[in-house]
Amino acid sequence: MSEERSLNFLEEIIEEDLKSGKYKFIVTRFPPEPNGYLHIGHASSICLNFGLTRKYPGFTNLRFDDTNPVTEETEYVESIKEDVKWLGFEWKHERYASDYFGTLYEYALQLIDKGLAYVDDSSSEEMAAMKGTPTEPGVNSPYRDRTVEENRDLFVRMKNGEFPDGSRTLRAKIDMAHINMLMRDPILYRIKHAHHHRTGDQWCIYPMYDFAHGQSDSIEEITHSICTLEFVPHRELYDWLIEKLEIYPSHQYEFARRNINYTVTSKRKLLQLVNEKYVSGWDDPRMPTISGLRRRGYTPESVREFCDRIGVAKRENMVDVGLLEFCVREHLNKIALRRMVVFDPLRVVITNYTGSGEWLQSENNPEDPQGGSRSVPFSRELYIERDDFMEVPPKKYFRLAPGQMVRLKSAFIIRCDEVIKDEEGKVQELRCTYFPESKSGADTSGLSVKGTLHWVSIQHAVPVEVRLYDRLFRVEDPTDEAGDFKDYLNPDSLKVLPGVYAEPALADAVLSDRFQFIRMGYFVLDRDSQPGKLIFNKTVGLKDAWAKEVKKGG
RNA sequence: UGACCCAUGGUGUAACGGUAGCACUACAGAUUUUGGUUCUGUCUGUUAAGGUUCGAAUCCUUAUGGGUCAACCA
């Protein structure tokens, strides 16, 4: 209660409802259709629905909107449950719209008996022709005035499987001239002789969204049914059905879905990327799916923080993916174990180092005093990053250059004395001297350097594979460009570096570990790893002020 | 040429008739054994025009701009 944060419009409504005594507690639901994997946009809805009942008394159901058997699969149900749990939420009841098929059928019969629904034999083309347009009224179907008895008989026979797919529908009898297209005798039931992932072959008629969603809300006594803006026009039908059926009055509220730049969040488009092999699967680390983010190394905390920061409103929006990256960096900075990994090795020989090697201590995480340290082997021959040396350095280059000194992280200060090149002039090796009295933590050398480099001891180095990811698309809004959205895929969204060298402590990595490869970015072990062949995914890079400086200069 | 929803810095979101704030980004500086982190500071905004009011981002009108609606999808 100490928090001063202002309420979003849904919280305002809820607080009002609670204060007025309209409800003692609230009930929300997260209603995915099991026809694809959840993405970052869904995360927003999950955090909203579950977050509300975490903040206010009440609970949230997980309800699968499984009314279209031809696109829905158990695989999706399982992935959705896993993703919601991973995000850190618990549902009160696990429900399915298909649980209510019997009740929904009874509801349909009631509407027929009230003269509020009829069986239509029109084809979908005929129906479309009679529907009118947003500016012109529709016309009544010739089947609109069938008797209650006839409608009942036909509907029962529809259910009994006497008619082929597409031959008949059950429609609500509202008003073909209604200004709201959805009120022009919307279809309630259609015939689909299809196998359903839960009810099998029990049914051959399936309710449409509008005759399932609101009724399911009502059956579960959902108080606040929260959906996205495109359902605003459906609300009139939602309310009409509840009123005519005289069932529990759930209420629908709409908020604007979140769009994020440089990606797509449409299940249809994501499915295409998967089916047409533009990515390795739903959990490809470049995908904006929850499973993709998880494999990429995002933490549930950071995704929740992101959803919290972008808030909830009703206006169109395009959230900068940079905010998501900020959130994950913020969390990972606190928890990631620091390790040294050289991506593009350049050999360094410490010419005055005569020992056989030694083990130095290095902190696991400077942000975490309790994090402890690990041992890192130092020896005469090391790898440093090729980028960390320049023969002719520009101004303000704090890394290694002929005659210049740097500190090797957690080790010694070295000076570059000699550059060894091959016939083509490519730098092969650096000859350096080290200053024994500059040892990290016990530095009495009096030397001071501007740069600190990461490094690995060649004889102790563990070869690993690193997969570097960049945004999947090269434009902010691929769906807003001319032509196919796939034309705007970023060809450099994945770079595999098969031979990079890590300090030995990394060999013990497990899937749940989060690492910061010092000066390189945040990484996580990939599930493709084999014993002896570790693969790391780049979650996100570190902010890079030097790269920015270089860019400005050139 | 209809109905509905929406309009605050580059982005996202507050201000509920009374000082336009916060976060991200960008920029500048300090600190730093990660050019990371941390800290300090700076830039940028109420779509427009009328009206109501002592006072309008907020209320009213009109305009403009964006979005949604004519699937047996959800």
pLDDT tens track for A443-500: 999 999 999 999 999 999 999 999 999 999 999 999 999 999 999 999 999 999 998 9
Task: Tell me which protein residue sits closest to nucleotide B15, measuring alpha carbon to C1'.
Answer: A6
Amino acid at A509: A
Check residue A552 and give its pLDDT. 80
Catalytic residue among A11, A33, A381, A465: A33
User: Rounded to the nearest 5°, which phi and psi values hold at A328?
Assistant: -75, -35
Q: Please give the Cα distance from A79 to A278 (Å, whole number).
A: 21
Compute the C-alpha angle A172/A148/A67, nearest 5°: 40
Catalytic residue among A29, A190, A267, A514: A267
Spanning CA of A55 to C1' of B41, the rounded length in angstroms is 37
Spanning CA of A61 to C1' of B72, the rounded length in angstroms is 29
Check residue A130 and give its pLDDT. 97
Spanning CA of A180 to C1' of B59, the rounded length in angstroms is 29
Spanning CA of A195 to C1' of B62, the rounded length in angstroms is 56
Q: Report the nucleotide nearest the CA of residue A543, measured to C1'.
A: B36
Share of chain A above pLDDT 70, in %: 99
| Average pLDDT of the residues of chain A | 96
pLDDT tens string A422-431? 999 999 999 9
Task: Tell me which protein residue sits closest to nucleotide B67, measuring alpha carbon to C1'.
Answer: A316
Task: Tell me which protein residue sits closest to nucleotide B74, measuring alpha carbon to C1'.
Answer: A209
Tokens read off for A82: 């896993």
Nearest to A216 by CA among A66, A79, A69: A66
Strand partners, A463: A501
Q: Report the nucleotide nearest the CA of residue A131, measured to C1'.
A: B70
Spanning CA of A313 to C1' of B7, the rounded length in angstroms is 12
- Chain B bases closer than 7 A to any CB of the protein: 1-8, 10-16, 23-27, 33-38, 66-74
A3 included as an active-site residue: no
Length of chain A: 554
Q: Are strands A373-378 and A535-540 parallel, antiparallel or unpaired?
A: unpaired
Nearest to A226 by CA among A35, A6, A7, A11: A11
Q: In what order do the strands lie in the sheet with A169-172?
A: A117-120, A169-172, A187-191, A205-207
- Count of beta carbons in the 10 Å neighbourhood of residue A205: 23
What is the arithmetic mean of pLDDT over A355-373?
Answer: 96
What is the arithmetic mean of pLDDT over A97-102?
Answer: 98
What is the arithmetic mean of pLDDT over A120-149?
Answer: 97
Nearest to A404 by CA among A423, A385, A422, A419: A419
Q: Report the nucleotide nearest the CA of residue A406, measured to C1'.
A: B33
The CA distances from residue A240 to A145, A173, A185, in Å, are 20, 11, 12
DSSP state of A517: E
Strand partners, A414: A406, A434
Residue carrying the six token digits 């050289």: A342
pLDDT tens string A247-274? 999 999 999 999 999 999 999 999 999 9
Q: Report the nucleotide nearest the CA of residue A390, measured to C1'.
A: B35
Q: Report the nucleotide nearest the CA of residue A138, measured to C1'.
A: B70
Spanning CA of A43 to C1' of B62, the rounded length in angstroms is 40
Q: Please give the Cα distance from A24 to A57 (Å, whole number).
A: 8
Catalytic residue among A257, A386, A474, A486: A257
Q: Please give the Cα distance from A343 to A519 (Å, whole number).
A: 11
pLDDT tens string A57-85? 999 999 999 999 999 999 999 999 999 99
Check residue A554 and give its pLDDT. 57
Check residue A4 and give its pLDDT. 58
Check residue A551 and give its pLDDT. 86
Query: Mean pLDDT lowest for which of A41-50, A334-343, A477-486?
Result: A477-486
Q: Please give the Cα distance from A372 to A370 (Å, whole number).
A: 6
Tokens read off for A490: 């970023």
SS3 A99: helix
User: Rounded to the nearest 5°, which phi and psi values hold at A2?
Assistant: -80, -15
Residues whose CB is less than 8 angstroms from the CB of residue A61 and which lie 6 or more positions away in sequence, other chains included: A27, A28, A29, A30, A91, A92, A93, A94, A95, A220, A222
Say yes or no to pLDDT of A524 above 80: yes
Helix axis angle for A300-310 and A321-335, nearest 10°, is 140
**Top-confidence residue, A310 or A551:** A310
Q: Are A371 and A553 in contact (CB under 8 A)?
A: no
Q: Are A45 and A30 in contact (CB under 8 A)?
A: yes
Say yes or no to pLDDT of A2 above 50: no
Q: Report the nucleotide nearest the CA of residue A165, measured to C1'.
A: B72
* ipTM > 0.90, yes or no: yes
- Count of beta carbons in the 10 Å neighbourhood of residue A128: 11
A257 included as an active-site residue: yes
Spanning CA of A374 to C1' of B7, the rounded length in angstroms is 55
A276 included as an active-site residue: no
**Cα A309–chain centre separation:** 15
Q: Are A425 and A435 in contact (CB under 8 A)?
A: no
User: Rounded to the nearest 5°, which phi and psi values hold at A549?
Assistant: -60, -45
Q: Please give the Cα distance from A369 to A361 (Å, whole number).
A: 14
Structural domains in chain A, sorted by start: 9-255 (3.40.50.620), 267-337+464-552 (2.40.240.10), 341-454 (2.40.240.10)
